Amino acid sequence: MEITNVTEYEAIAKQKLPKMVFDYYASGAEDQWTLEENRNAFSRILFRPRILIDVSKIDLSTTVLGFKISMPIMIAPTAMQKMAHPEGEYATARAASAAGTIMTLSSWATSSVEEVASTGPGIRFFQLYVYKDRNVVAQLVRRAEKAGFKAIALTVDTPRLGRREADIKNRFTLPPFLALKNFEGLDLGKMDEASDSGLASYVAGQIDRTLSWKDVQWLQTITKLPILVKGVLTAEDARLSVQAGAAGIIVSNHGARQLDYVPATISALEEVVKAAQGRVPVFLDGGVRRGTDVFKALALGASGIFIGRPVVFSLAAEGEVGVRKVLQMLREEFELTMALSGCRSLKEITRDHIVTDWDIPRTQPRISPRL
């Protein structure tokens, strides 16, 4: 069966992967309301396309933190990709590079920063979890910098791991033949079996719950790399991110895997963009499955989007080829959406190209008062 859209990879991944692995990738926190809402919220945003515009030439390229990329579609950090496919993060890195876009490597990758760098040229960001032992953090940041990574995406929504009930039921743990490669030499590369989720126990033991804004500033003292604050959902935290010296903000609810009943990222995006006041770029991850979703995010002020689950599902289905296809399909859909909306470049995508359910109706019915 020919795959014609990104979503179709999920069913193939479900067939191919062990239940514990598929559930780990696919599930969200608790009732999974936000997991569904991340998708549903996109479907409530409608287009206001402009017609009779010459769209024979369309430019999708953009710059992110000064790096030129082919399109505003990038790869989000997803952990333990070798559970999906033997080539794991290597395949993802090659696919991103071939598409001319950015890959973000997870702290909890099953390939190290050095191994991913060895796949060849490419613009790569490193997602960072802050461990209780700050020497571990400093060492990891230095290694990422040395391996040519261009930015740090600091995850700020995980002082504790969200309650992911599938992982509890499955007693999720990293398969014994794999390791969290970035931590292997530090005796932090393995996950113990636990009476609930092995990952939840690992986080409880290793990740620093005291993480605060002063640590965002501390991070800037140990690295010259720009820092993206990943996990912002409110105007208040957007303003604090800018004040703390962040180079950018990623509006993220961690793929709906942390606090359930937070809004969809596409619903929180505009509030964050307005609060950032153009001082730093704002990006989005969570729920992007179509080129139309990319357009909607940009119309609401995002500078680009990141995809997570589509990468691991396509990786499970077809390895590097699958990830390449996902990036290509999203690119083609996004380009078509631009053409049909009358936009020839990213700067032509405006707020007027969409209507949301929180917009004030554009035409107020004129009811003459009866005396």
Residue type, 350: T
Query: What tokens appear for 362 in the block?
Result: 């554009």
Please answer whether residues 322 and 314 qualify as being in contact, where contact means their C-beta atoms are separated by less than 8 angstroms. yes
Burial of 257 (0-12, 13-18, 19+ CB in 10 A): buried
Residue type, 217: Q
Per the annotation, the verdict on 254 as an active-site residue is yes
User: How far, in Å, CA of 266 to CA of 37, rounded?
Assistant: 10
For helices 309-341 and 8-16, angle between their N-to-C axes, nearest 10 degrees: 170
Please answer whether residues 104 and 77 qualify as being in contact, where contact means their C-beta atoms are separated by less than 8 angstroms. yes
Query: What tokens appear for 154 in the block?
Result: 């600091």
Burial code (b: 16+ CB inside 10 Å, e: under 16) for 191-206 equals: beebeebbbbbbbeee
305 φ, ψ (degrees, to nearest 5): -130, 160
Task: Check 82, 181, 254, 257 and give the catalytic one.
Answer: 254
**DSSP E strand boundaries for the chain:** 46-47, 62-64, 67-69, 73-75, 103-105, 124-128, 151-155, 227-232, 248-251, 282-285, 304-307, 354-355
Residues identified as active-site:
254
